Every structure is written in structure tokens, then in C-alpha cells.
Chain A
């Protein structure tokens, strides 16, 4: 003899509560889905799809110039050819040096300047906007501008340097100076990016924290390294990752500044991909090289992002 019992008042309340929670949950889920899908769709379409074709091209030996002739399966031939090419390794090293110098300089200068600009002072807003200007220029223009300024005969840079006794620097005629020239141009152009993000991050730290530290007896250096930097680390890290990714891709600048020269010594990997694809039309190889480059970038980013996530866990 079982009786179907009515739910007790507390049980009824619990059920109602659970229903309400479900409703909230599903509306939350709708929001997630709705907000993410446009982005996801566009990116899948415009990026994932091309990457897949890129990878598939890399296994073929064909030229986009003559797509009908020779759609030959090449397997890993492209890769083995590329990786055994010593000239290519030189390019990797050059690219690595370039990225390292650029990103380090930009982070150091950017953080320094951003730190100084966080407090308002007369004219700060104007100066800040003006400092953003290098970033606004087209990379090609920047390349040509620096090429003009660094010319050994009629460039203004050498003129100024001779004023302090340094003469005859062949900026673009030798590899190592060219590396620094490119790094200078890239740094000139992109440090504002770091400055903008760093200033934003630093401004997020309340003044009372600094006042408390002041009272606690912390020196300015102590405050910067123990408070400012740790507290803004997540943002600075994102800036680092973004800049790292972008500088690996750098092409326009080298095209305008050095054209890959002298010879081919300032050709970055990106430049080599372009050359393979559009000068020689070895599309298959170009794709393979691009894939290699992509893997390097992805690998580095994964390490950094993992670090970033660990940083965020504290909060």
C-alpha cells in the first residue's frame, strides 16, 4: 500500500529553486553560445580552412602558376628539402635574433615609458597621443622612411652621428648593422603598443597600494619590482605574446627597408616564404615553410600561455 505523497513545502521550494537555476543556467548557456558563435564561425571559415589547405599544399609539389601541371604528391619532400637547406637555417637564426632583440627592447622601453606616463601631469594626454603615432604608420612607409634616414650617403642618422664622432656606418650594407637597423625600425614602430597596454595596466593599480608601501618603507625600486610588475604581469604577458607573434610575421618592414639584402642576409623566414611563393612560385615549398613557421609560433605561444594561466590562478 504505497501512497503518493505531496512534496513537503521545503521540497517544493527546493524544486522551484532548482528550476530557476536551470532557467538561469540555460539562459547563461544561450549567452555563451550566442556571443561566441559569430567569432567562431568567421574564424573557422577564414582561418581554419586556409590553414588546412595550407597544410595540404605543403605535401604537394606544385606551383600556383601552373596549377594544372604537376599536382604531384611529394609527401614530406618539401619539408626535408627545406630543413636540410643551410641557408634556411641561417634565416631561422636571423629571424630568431631579430625577434629576440625587438621584443626585449620593446618590452623594456614600453614598460619604462608606460610607468612614467601613468600619473597625470600637464600635457600628459597630448604627449601620450603623439607617442602613439609611430604605430599608426603603414609598415611599408616605416620601412622606406628608415631606409631613407639610414642611407650612408644622404641619411640624416649618419649626419647626426658624425656630429658626435661616429662616422661611416653602413647601416644597410652589412648584415649585423642591418639587423639593428631593422630592430630599431620595428622597435620605433611598435613600442607604443606596449606603452598603451602597460599604461592601462599600471593605472589599474590603486594609489592606496603605493601609499601603503610608502608608509611601509618601500623604496621606489622595491615598489616597482615587488608591486607594480607582479600586479600587472598578466597584461604585460599578453602584450609580450602578441608582440612575439607579430614580429615573427614581420614582412612589410623588411621588404621596404632592406629588400632582404644585402644579398639575402636579412631575409626572415616570413620573407623567404613570400619569395618562394611569389618570386619562384614554388607554392608547395612555400606552404611547407609557412607550416614550419606556424608550428614554431604555436609552440612558443603555448608555453607562454600556459605560464599566463598559471599566473592568473592566484586571484
Chain B
């Protein structure tokens, strides 16, 4: 259903734009492709110049990640599945709670005006400004004191605090895009605010929830600094486990590449699961009122 097409300059612009887009797509996907094939290269092929496109598949990288094959019996062999389970649990629950809390807080900040709202919002935002490196030591001590070290619960807490600020701000933006009339009409018809919120407003911001969940999951899943400091054996997450396998003989490229590929797959799965909601009905606070 296109509008009537125009002059030649317009066509030239369109082609130019398409070219730029194509460049970006290649730029974006190229390295990922490179990551994938590099993870399967043997040492020789890895450093071959000019780079090889066709090669014999060498699975050493993956073997050392999972502790099988050539790397069987090493310290890395044990606990990969445990680490995977830990990661899945911590990331999922952390995301769920962060999104939940952020949605509630964002909703209230969108709909109500209360004293200190601006300060609250800024405070929430500021929690994200903290460089993890600055507080690692403190967290280590605090967790030890509270007996939270090496617990999944502790990691979930970290996942929540790291992401709830992001969740709140993004969800507030989405809620701003939903007209206030929606709840008012529901209330006039006898429904409670809660009902209106759960059954009317929330479905309208599905896209926002999906996007927020996506971001939070990524951050929680890849979280490394805190996870490494705050766990020893039981609650180790996958990124930490994988990194502990390397380092002995310099940079183990294949191992890192393989680890990268392995780590990205669950995230892809997650995004695939929410794909329908991601672009659905996403209206941001563009036409709404604050």
C-alpha cells in the first residue's frame, strides 16, 4: 500500500539508504559469523593469514568449555551443567523480579504525582551509575557477613538491584504512552484500579515488558564481576565457570570463542520466546501525557 512514488532524487536517496542499511547489517552480523567459525578452528587455522574460510572443524574449544574430550578430567570438566543451571535460575528469577518491581514502580510513577517523585526516580536511575568495580570489595564483605556468599539467592538479589532501575525507567516510559482514560473508563464502569491495571493497561504495554525483560535477561546472564566475587563453588554461574577454565597458557582463543557462542545461545532462545511480544503494540510515551 505505497504512496505514489516520486522523482529520481528520491529514488537515489532510497538506494543510498538501503546501501547504508546493508553496510550496517554486515557490520553487525559479520563479527558474529566470525565468532562462530573461529570457535571451530584449530590453532593453526586460527592464526592463518590470509584468513581461512574453509577448514577442518576442530572442537577443542568446545571441549574445554564443557570439559569433555581432550579436556576431560580437568577441573573444568566438573560443574558446567551445574553452572548452566545456576545461570538459568539466577537470570530468570532475577529478570522476573526486576521486571515485576520495575513495572509496578514505573506504573505508579507514570500515573501518580507524589512528593519526592522526581527524587525517587533519580535515585532509581542513580543505582545504575555505580561502577561494579567500586563496590566489589564492599559486597564481598557484606555478603560474607550476611551469609549470602555462594548462594543463588544472593546472586538473584544482585541481578535485581542491577536491573530494576533500568526496568523502572523504561516501563514508566511505556506507561506514559497509555492514556489515563483507560483506567478512568474502567473505574466508571465499576472496576477497581487493580483490575484495570492488570487486565487493561498491562496488555497494552506488552511490548515494553518484553523489551525490558530482554535487556534485564541479557544483563543478568552476562553479569560477571559480582558473580565471580560472590561465588566460590555452589552458585557459580556459567560466565564465571567458563572464564575459570582459561588463563593457564595465555589467551585461549578457541575456548573464549566457544564460550561466547555457548553463552549467547540461551539469550537467543529467550529472545526467540518473547519475539511475538517484542514489537507488538509498542507505543512509547510519545503521544501520552506525563
Contacts and interface: CB of A to CB of B under 8 A. Distances in A.
Chain A in direct contact with chain B (Cβ < 8 angstroms): yes
Interface of A: 27-28, 31-32, 34-36, 38-40, 42-43, 46-51, 53-54, 57, 64, 109, 112-113, 116, 125, 127-141, 144-146, 148-149, 153-154, 156, 159, 188, 191-193, 196-197, 199-201, 203-206, 214, 220, 231-232, 234-235, 238, 241-242, 245-246, 248-249, 251-252, 270, 273-274, 277-278, 283, 286-287, 290, 293-294, 297-298, 301-302, 305, 309, 312-313, 315
B28 A188 contact: yes
Contacts of A287: 134
Contacts of A197: 170, 211, 284
A241 B169 CA distance: 11
Contacts of B12: none
Contact of B211 (A38, A196, A249): A196
A226 to B, nearest CB: 14
Contact of A297 (B38, B129, B142): B129
Contacts of B135: 50-51, 54, 290
A248 to B, nearest CB: 8
Given A116-B17, A141-B259, A39 B104 contact: yes
B279 A203 contact: yes
Nearest to A191: B28
Given A50-B139, A113-B24, A133-B28, A245 B260 contact: no
Q: Determine which residue in A112, A141, A199 has the highest number of CB atoms from chain B within 10 A of its CB, and name it.
A: A141
Interface in B16-73: 17, 20-21, 24-25, 27-29, 31-32, 34-35, 38, 46-51
B286 A138 contact: no
Contacts of A154: 46-49, 51
Interface string B67-85: 0000000000000000000
Interface of B: 3, 10, 13, 17, 20-21, 24-25, 27-29, 31-32, 34-35, 38, 46-51, 101-102, 104-105, 107-108, 112, 114, 118, 120-139, 142, 157-158, 160-161, 164-166, 168-170, 173, 176-177, 193-194, 207-208, 211, 214-215, 218, 222, 224-225, 239, 243, 251, 253, 256-257, 259-260, 263-264, 267-268, 271-272, 275, 278-279, 282-290
A312 B275 contact: no
A245 B127 CA distance: 10
A124 B62 CA distance: 32
Given A42-B101, A42-B164, A116-B17, A283 B284 contact: no
A149 B279 CA distance: 33
The B interface, classified by DSSP as helix, strand, loop or mixed, is helix
A242 B128 contact: yes
Given A138-B224, A140-B224, A148 B158 contact: no
A290 B134 contact: yes
Contacts of A136: 218, 264, 267-268, 271
A217 B187 CA distance: 43
A188 B31 contact: yes
Contacts of B168: 39
Given A192-B28, A214-B3, A294-B130, 7 more contacts: A36-B105, A42-B161, A51-B135, A138-B224, A196-B214, A220-B10, A312-B290
